[in-house]
Amino acid sequence: MEDLSGKVALVTGAAQGLGRAYALALAQAGAKVVASSRSMGAPRPGERPGEATLADTVRISIEMGTPVHAAVCDVGSEEQINRTVDETIGNFGRIDILVNNAATYPAHYSPDFFDPFVWTKEVWLQYFDINVVGPYMLIKAVAPYMKEQRSGSIINISSTAAHRDDVAHDGLLGYATSKAALIRLSAFFASELAPWGIAVNALCPGTVITGAWRSASPADLEAARKSGSTEATPEAVGPYITHLAKQTAEGLSGQFVQAVKFPDWV
C-alpha cells in the first residue's frame, strides 16, 4: 500500500460507490481525508442510517480505524466549493490531493438523439455544469495552495465511456461527452501546473458495480458487462487512486489511466 502519511486529501462525491471507496483508500494509506457530498444524510433519532450517505461514509471509516472528515459541498455551487477548500486549509493547513469524483449520471434514453423532449439545452448544461465546470472550479480553488506548496496531485475521475464509440445508445451520450471534456481539461492543467510540481491525471474506471449500476435498467447493466471492461466492486479501484495521489509533475502527469486491467503497481 502507498504511504500518504502527512498528506491532506479532498474527495468530492464521497457519499457512496467509487467516491466512498476513494476516500477510504486514501485514509487507509495514511492521508487526512475530507470527504464531501451535497448533503450529510445523517439519520434523525429513531431512524436507521442510510447506506448512500456521507454520514455512512464517516461511520464506515471510523469502524475501519481510519476516520475521514465530512464536508457538505455541492460542486454546482462555486460558493460552497470555495468554502469547503477554505475550511480544509483552515483545519489542516494544506491540501495535497484533490479527487474530482462528483458527477451527474442521469440516464436519458431515446432512440432519437435529436429528441427535443430528451436532449434539451438544460440537460446538456446539467452534464457539463457538474461533470466539467465543477471540477474546474475545484482546481481553481486548490491551485493557489498547491502552487505555494510547490506540490500536489489532482485526479479527475472520467470514464472509459469517454473514449468508446459504443456507449451513446446506452443513454450515455451526455455523460460520455462531458467525461471526454474532463480528460481534455486534465491534460490542459497538467501542462499549466507542471512548473509548480503539480500532477494532474484523469482516472477512467471501467465497469464497476456500484449502487448506480444496480439501479440502472437491466439492459444497460448487461450492455456494460459485455463491453469488455473489468467488473469489480468499488474497493478494487483503491490502488489506482493511492498511486495517482502520490504523483508529482515529474512523475505520472497529463495521462488518462484506464482502470480496466490492473497494472503492475496494483
Exposure of 52 in the CB half-sphere (CA atoms within 13 A): 9
Number of compact structural domains in the chain: 1
pTM: 0.87
CA dihedral 38, 230, 182, 54 (to 10 degrees): 10
Residue 141 lies in a domain: yes
Residue 264 lies in a domain: no
Angle (nearest 5°) at CA 250 between 81 and 262:
80
Total Cβ atoms within 10 A of residue 215 = 10
Residue 219 lies in a domain: yes
* CATH code, domain carrying 175: 3.40.50.720
Alpha-carbon gap, residue 28 to 1, rounded angstroms: 9
Residue 266 lies in a domain: no
The residues annotated as belonging to the active site are 175
Contact 20, 54 (CB under 8 A): no
Domain range holding 196? Answer: 8-259
Q: What is the pLDDT of residues 16-59, one digit of tens each?
A: 889 999 999 999 999 999 999 999 987 777 666 677 899 999 99
pLDDT of residue 266: 35
Q: What is the pLDDT of residues 178-210, one digit of tens each?
A: 999 999 999 999 999 999 999 999 998 865 555
Q: Is 170 helix (H, G, I), strand (E, B) or coil?
A: helix
Total Cβ atoms within 10 A of residue 261 = 9
